[in-house]
Amino acid sequence: MRLQAVTRSGPSTSSDRIGDLTVQIARLVRHRAYVRDQVVSGMLLRFLPNGMRPWLGPDDLRRRLDAAGLDQRSLDHLFANVATEIAMAHARS
């Protein structure tokens, strides 16, 4: 069986982007070299686990991202910053 890339047709919905963002943030949190204290983006820090709010999994994160009512610009900011933080975690490992 051959794998093929599948592209979405039409504009992506905010819900699709939040799902994609949830996956990326969960990937960062699970990375063995993730260090919360080294995350630069204050907006991204709002959605990362800390001493007062433990990691409850991607479903909880998705609910919090949905509840935040993020606009396109905020989503773009979070995507860019989570990608940077994942790259930094890779560099540390």
Six-digit token string for 68: 């935040």
Instruction: Provide the residue ranges of all domains of the chain, joining segments of one domain with +.
Output: 14-92
How far are the Cα atoms of 9, 48, 57 from residue 6, in angstroms, in the given order? Answer: 9, 30, 27
pTM: 0.82
pLDDT bin (cut points 50, 70, 90) of residue 3 is low
The tens digit of pLDDT for each residue in 50-90 reads 988 899 999 999 999 999 999 999 999 999 999 999 999 99
Res. 46: pLDDT tops 60:
yes
